[in-house]
Structure formats: C-alpha cells, structure tokens
Amino acid sequence: MEKNNQKLLQIDELKTYFYTLDGVVRAVDGVSLAIKPGETLGLVGESGSGKSVTAHSVLRLLPPKTSKIVQGQIRFRRRDTSAEIDLANVDPHGDLIRSIRGNEIAMIFQEPMTSLSPVFTVGHQIIEAIRLHQGSSAQEARQKAIDMLQAVGLGMADQLVDEYPHRLSGGQRQRAMIAMALSCRPSLLIADEPTTALDVTVQAQILDLMNSLKERFNMAIWIITHNLGVVAEMADRVAVMYMGRVVESGDVRTIFHQPLHPYTVGLLQSIPKMGAQIKNRLAPIPGSVPDPFSIPAGCAFRTRCPAIAAHCQAEAPMLEVEPGHYVRCCLYA
C-alpha cells in the first residue's frame, strides 16, 4: 500500500480472528488501509466482509474472550503530541486507549437507539463524554452539549438536552449521536452504516450534515457502508472488502468508472439504474458468500467469479496497477 508520513491512521496487514466452538473465523485477514487528515475514506462490501470488525479492532472494542488481533499494526498519529502509537499493542482496558476513544477517534454506530442509553437523557450522555475527556465543569459541559446539538441542526437544543432517546425521532437520534461523537472535536470520525435505519430524505440530510461538520472541524471521516450511493456522495477514496480482505482501493472516481476486481464490478453492476429496462435493472453477483469456517484457498471470490482461471487458486498479492489504484486479483498479476 502507499506510504508517506502524512497519514492520520495507517493499518498494516491487520489480522483479527474469532475463536468459536466450531472453529476459527478469520474476520479480518491481512487488511491494509490509510486515512489522511481531513479526507473521507469509504469502506464497502457485503455484510460479513469484515468492515465493522476492522473498525472495532482500531478502537479495541472486540470481545476479549473470543477474539484476538493476531498480526499487524494500527498506527495512529495523536493530535496534541503528533506522536505515533500502535493501537494494536495497547491494553484494550487501559488509560491510553480510553483517552483516545471518543476524544481523538469517535465512532457512530449502526443503530442509535441501541447506542444511546435509554435510562439517561441525551444531554447527560454528551455531558459525560465532555467532562471525561475535557475536564469541564458540569455547567460548562452542559452548555457545550447544547451548542453541539445546535451545531448538528437540532432545534430547541436547550430542551432536547433533557429529553430521553425514545422521545426523539430516528433522524433526531442520529443527529444526537453525531453531536456526542463530535463533542470532543476528534481527529477521526468512524461512521458505521450511519444512515441504514433512516428514510431517504433524512439520509440525505445526515450526509450533508457530516460533510459540513467535516469541513467545520477539519476532521477525517471513515465511513463504513454497503451503500455505494453513500460512498459516491461522501468519499474521497474507496476500499472494497471481501471475506476479510481489501480487494481493491483507489480514489472514488477511479473505482466507480474504472473498477478492475470482478467483485467491485459485480457490486457496481448490481445497482439499479434509472431508465434501464426492467429485465436488465439488476445484475446480481452469482452464488453466495463462502462459509467463514472454510474459505477457499487462494482468491476467496473465485467460487463466484465469472473470470475464474486455474491460477486463481494461488494467493493474489495487492498490486498497484496505476498510481493510487490497487487491486488484489490474479488477472492483473
């Protein structure tokens, strides 16, 4: 993968495995990613491809009894000192990672109703994060919480700060989650399927909001989604994951207009297009995702690939086919 000294987050050959009674699941199996300050990276792929596990590995949020980072580095450049630390080797319960979670790296989870505690007001949960990381007084933190709720477009923020999550609509809860995530001005915001549970109109509003807040707070965004429309709207660069590996990455225009990996091509062809004939509206990827306990040797996509050849049984390296455009496929070896 590309290397330089300007990366905010650099993931190198990360492997995160889950250990179950049925065997080992290689959820993340050699992922390399990089995010620069101020840019938006889109990570796309089917459910179960390892997108969320990669993000949870960065924040060390994985269950310790059943999962383990077995290899790789997660190098993060801290905001105040510019020191680079390897998050893969820090204590997942220690003070160092606690000082980074929510403060320098914040995360918006898939479903805000399950992420916001139902027994505390929205304001209490934002205030708690501010006081923990910034040492503000209760009064100062409350005012900052109200200011953040206003910043994310919530009217009557001085009243909403005392409301419980169930009193808010889906769009309001998502905005409240964004307010909580940004309350400490993180360098990196990880947004895991931030618009999945929202209707189309609210989705557009949330994406516009995230774009405007990115510019306002000068932060990087890592957006995890299976929705290619969201990626086209938000991302500067795109990485495509399949069965725990990045199979293609590049800038958003290149990936959408010149996809190389057969899986990326299949994802793009499966998007309904305006004006297409009904019989040609969708071109689904044939077959199904392999059993995670018995992933095929070599290219994991070869059991579904229309361009399968004998050499697909061998391991394909990640190749730079043109500057900034990488693909993991034997067709380009």
- Six token digits for residue 72: 């790789």
pTM for this entry? 0.90
Average pLDDT for 236-248: 96
Class of domain 9-104+191-274: alpha beta
Q: What are 18's strand-pairing partners?
A: 25, 67
CA distances for 208 relative to 160, 174, 214, angstroms: 22, 13, 10
CA distances for 57 relative to 28, 67, 100, 158, angstroms: 9, 10, 13, 36
Rounded CA-CA distance 70/45 in Å is 23
Tens of pLDDT, residue by residue over 6-30, are 899 999 999 999 999 999 999 999 9
List, in sequence order, every beta strand (DSSP E) within 3-61.
9-20, 23-35, 40-44
Average pLDDT for 55-62: 96
Considering the chain, tell me which residue range(s) the CATH 3.40.50.300 domain(s) occupy: 9-104+191-274
- Six token digits for residue 178: 């964004």
**Of how many residues is the chain composed?**
333
> Looking at residue 38, what DSSP letter applies?
T
- Six token digits for residue 87: 């998050």
Residue found by looking up tokens 């919530």 in the block: 154
pLDDT score recorded for residue 200: 80
Task: Name the band, by pLDDT with cuts 50, 70 and 90, for residue 280.
Answer: low
